């Protein structure tokens, strides 16, 4: 039985539609273009009192990292320089105000590596990072990405039309990640749906972790159970089961929730510009800069938050200890002080690092895997679907969402 036959497409749509109830709480109901407002705010000041969604004028549900914390003062940074300064100073702008210990406490992303700081974060990251360095991208591609991409395309290649956002982009990361865990395809969507109930995910992973400790295989869980590093004091460290569960939850939340939207954004940008799509099809080396430009132009997660650990004057604003600083990386990625014509999608522009994957010590661990998924996925579409184009009889895709931005349906025809 193939991957596509085992996937419940109605359930995929339920879990991955930004307008559905599953993602409504992160601003999925926002359907405007925030960039004109962010431009105005950035021109007025580098840092403003308030949250990004309040300053944007959105009053719907908009919970995300660093929110809501109604008892704390909130500030938002909109320039590249301000975001860069905050990312570089992890002592003042911390990922969490309270100690984090994945081996104890709650099963939640807020109690994982993403909220660690200092020495503990460096040690934990050193244990999990080896599978996510650029040199390991080929391992991910061979073992899971190529197979998933080909099977998904097999499901619609003969139909001469498809919806690529949910039926293709959304399925790739979740199947890649769960496949790397050794989870069968029929349980992949159960894991995605259980992100609000982490204990249910642990129950799926518990026997797999136990089995890999007894008999390692060529998968991510095996790498994690065998990972070992010696710290600066000469002490050897290995991951506990609880730490493995914590990292798995983080990877599922960050990986399956972002890469699919970013792939859809990149596809939409190319399909809306047939001449650029044709150039990428003819010269496949252009796919890499196209992906990087889409990451800069519309990052799927346009805001991250940091907690202020002491009173500080920051870009002309006094930030009190205990306040929250929201880094509007979407605005920073279009800062004209760093990029000429920043509102244009231009795959020929000189490549400069953006904040699409965050910055500083917490820069996205899985960014090389995400890039590989997008490159292999889009490349396979261009290889296998001749004359790929937007369906002229369907509603064209739009970008929606606030704290998680992505495309609506991407209806295409080909052949």
Give me the mean pLDDT over the 369-395 stretch. Answer: 97
Chain position carrying tokens 């010269």: 283
Give me the mean pLDDT over the 372-379 stretch. Answer: 97
395, burial (CB in 10 Å: exposed 0-12, middle 13-18, buried 19+): exposed
SS (H, E, C) 192-232: HHHHHCHHHHHHHHHHHHHHHHHCCCCCHHHHHHHCEEECC
Contacts of 378 (CB under 8 A, 6+ apart): 263, 266, 267, 270, 287, 291
Overall pTM > 0.85: yes
Give me the mean pLDDT over the 30-40 stretch. Answer: 96
The pLDDT tens digits of the residues spanning 214-246 come to: 999 999 999 999 998 877 777 888 889 988 998
**Alpha carbon distance 357, 377 (integer Å):** 19
φ and ψ at residue 166, rounded to 5 degrees = -85, -45
Sort strands 324-327 and 74-77 into parallel, antiparallel or unpaired. parallel
Give me the mean pLDDT over the 286-302 stretch. Answer: 97
- Among positive and negative, which fits the CA dihedral 77, 82, 88, 94? negative
Decide if pLDDT at 2 tops 70. Answer: no
pLDDT value, residue 105? 66
**Alpha carbon distance 312, 411 (integer Å):** 49
**Alpha carbon distance 86, 326 (integer Å):** 10
What radius of gyration do the chain's Cα atoms show? 21
pLDDT value, residue 273? 98
Within 45-160, residue ranges assigned H as helices are 52-56, 80-88, 118-128, 137-140, 146-154
**Alpha carbon distance 334, 295 (integer Å):** 11
The pair of three-digit structure tokens given for residue 273, joined into one six-digit string: 């510009």
Tell me which of 70 and 14 has the higher pLDDT: 70
pLDDT value, residue 96? 86
Domain coverage including residue 160: 3-413
Give me the mean pLDDT over the 309-327 stretch. Answer: 97
Angle (CA) 256 170 190, round 5°: 60
Decide if pLDDT at 15 tops 80. Answer: no
Q: Name beta bridge partners: 162.
A: 412
Angle between helices 287-297 and 241-271 (to 10 degrees): 100
**Alpha carbon distance 131, 225 (integer Å):** 12
Chain position carrying tokens 């679907």: 385
Give me the mean pLDDT over the 62-91 stretch. Answer: 94
pLDDT value, residue 7? 67
- Sheet with 93-94, strands from edge to edge, namely 47-49, 74-77, 324-327, 304-308, 93-94
258, burial (CB in 10 Å: exposed 0-12, middle 13-18, buried 19+): buried
The pLDDT tens digits of the residues spanning 201-214 come to: 899 999 999 999 99
Give me the mean pLDDT over the 308-335 stretch. Answer: 98
Mean pLDDT for the chain overall: 90
Q: Looking at the 3D structure of the chain, how many domains does it have? A: 1
Tell me which of 98 and 326 has the higher pLDDT: 326
The percent of residues above 70 in pLDDT, for the chain, comes to: 97
Give me the mean pLDDT over the 127-138 stretch. Answer: 88
Contacts of 138 (CB under 8 A, 6+ apart): none
Q: Cα 292 to chain center, whole Å?
A: 14
Decide if pLDDT at 5 tops 70. Answer: no
Q: Is the peptide bond prior to 68 cis by the omega test (within 30 degrees of 0)?
A: yes
Decide if pLDDT at 127 tops 90. Answer: no
Mean pLDDT: which of 45-49, 111-115, 238-242 is highest? 45-49
CATH of the domain at 396: 1.10.630.10
pLDDT value, residue 22? 60
pLDDT value, residue 275? 98
- In this prediction, residue 254 has a pLDDT band, given cuts at 50, 70 and 90, of confident
**Alpha carbon distance 343, 39 (integer Å):** 10
pLDDT value, residue 395? 96
Decide if pLDDT at 112 tops 60. Answer: yes
């Amino acid at each position: 039985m193939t991957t596509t036959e085992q996937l419940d497409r109605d359930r995929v749509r339920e879990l991955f539609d930004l307008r559905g109830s599953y993602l409504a709480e992160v601003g999925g109901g926002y359907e405007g273009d925030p960039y004109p407002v962010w431009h105005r705010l950035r021109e007025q000041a580098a840092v403003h009192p308030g949250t990004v969604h309040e300053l944007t004028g959105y009053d719907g549900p908009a919970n995300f990292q660093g929110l809501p914390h109604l008892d704390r003062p909130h500030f938002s940074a909109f320039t590249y320089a301000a975001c860069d300064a905050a990312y570089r100073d992890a002592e003042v702008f911390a990922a969490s105000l309270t100690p984090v210990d994945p081996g104890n406490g709650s099963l939640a992303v807020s109690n994982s590596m993403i909220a660690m700081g200092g020495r503990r974060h460096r040690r934990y990251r050193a244990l999990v990072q080896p599978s996510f360095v650029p040199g390991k991208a080929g391992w991910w591609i061979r073992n899971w990405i190529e197979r998933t991409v080909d099977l998904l395309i097999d499901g619609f290649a003969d139909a001469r039309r498809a919806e690529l956002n949910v039926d293709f982009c959304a399925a790739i990361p979740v199947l890649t990640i769960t496949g790397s865990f050794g989870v069968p395809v029929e349980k992949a969507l159960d894991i995605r749906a259980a992100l609000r109930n982490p204990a249910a995910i642990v129950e799926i992973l518990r026997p797999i972790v136990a089995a890999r400790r007894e008999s390692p295989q060529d998968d991510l869980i095996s790498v994690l159970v065998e990972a070992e590093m010696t710290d600066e004091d000469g002490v050897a460290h290995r991951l506990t089961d609880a730490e493995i569960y914590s990292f798995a939850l983080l990877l599922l939340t960050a990986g399956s929730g972002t890469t699919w939207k970013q792939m859809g954004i990149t596809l939409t940008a190319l399909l809306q510009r047939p001449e650029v799509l044709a150039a990428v099809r003819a010269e496949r080396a252009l796919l890499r800069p196209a992906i990087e430009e889409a990451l800069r132009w519309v990052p799927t997660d346009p805001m991250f938050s940091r907690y202020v650990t002491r009173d500080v004057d920051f870009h002309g604003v006094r930030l009190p200890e205990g306040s929250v600083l929201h880094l509007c990386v979407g605005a920073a990625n279009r800062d004209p002080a760093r990029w000429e014509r920043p509102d244009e999608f231009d795959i020929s522009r000189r490549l400069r690092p953006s904040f699409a994957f965050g910055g500083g010590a917490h820069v996205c661990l899985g960014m090389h895997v995400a890039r590989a998924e997008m490159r292999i996925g889009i490349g396979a579409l261009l290889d296998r679907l001749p004359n790929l184009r937007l369906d002229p009889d369907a509603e064209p895709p739009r970008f929606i969402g606030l704290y998680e931005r992505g495309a609506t349906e991407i209806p295409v025809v080909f052949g």
